[in-house]
Amino acid sequence: MLAITPQHHLFLHFEPIDFRKGIDGLIGVCLRKCEQDPFHGGIFIFRNKQGTALKLLVYDGTGFWLCHKRFSCGKLAWWPTTLAGAKAISAVELTVLVNQGKPAQLTDSWHKVASSFGTSRSL
């Protein structure tokens, strides 16, 4: 099983690709267009032109994983349209994206919670 963690480097290719490409074709896209070495364990995310499927490519030290998700209904709810938007995606946002959500609507992972104790109370 492939787990997406905050420690992974995520490389999202924001332009659609030809989904007839397999592992070798996607390695070429990583090297030429993304200018990243896929052998370093990053997760590379690709979409098809119609927005109905995603492919994730990752090297785990012993070989490549190629995960293909085709949505049973509907299309991607969101996809970055610029390189800056593609570079800013987090592991949590990728998880939402894979499940056809809109990661741009997420709030920060951490936020301050108000204390339930009053100011007159001492600990």
pLDDT digits (tens, 9 = 90+) for 63-112: 999 999 999 998 988 888 777 766 767 888 888 888 877 665 545 555 56
Task: Record the pTM.
Answer: 0.77
Greatest distance between any 2 Cα atoms in the chain? 67
DSSP 8-state class, residue 117 = S
68, 54 in Cβ contact below 8 A?
A: yes
What CA–CA distance (Å, rounded) separates 9 from 89?
Answer: 10
**Amino acid 77: pLDDT:** 85
Mean local confidence (pLDDT), 33-57: 92
Residues 6 or more apart from 88 whose CB is under 8 A from it? 80
**Each residue's pLDDT tens digit, 109-123:** 555 667 666 555 555
Residue 55 parent element (H or E) = strand 53-59
More confident residue, 36 or 108: 36
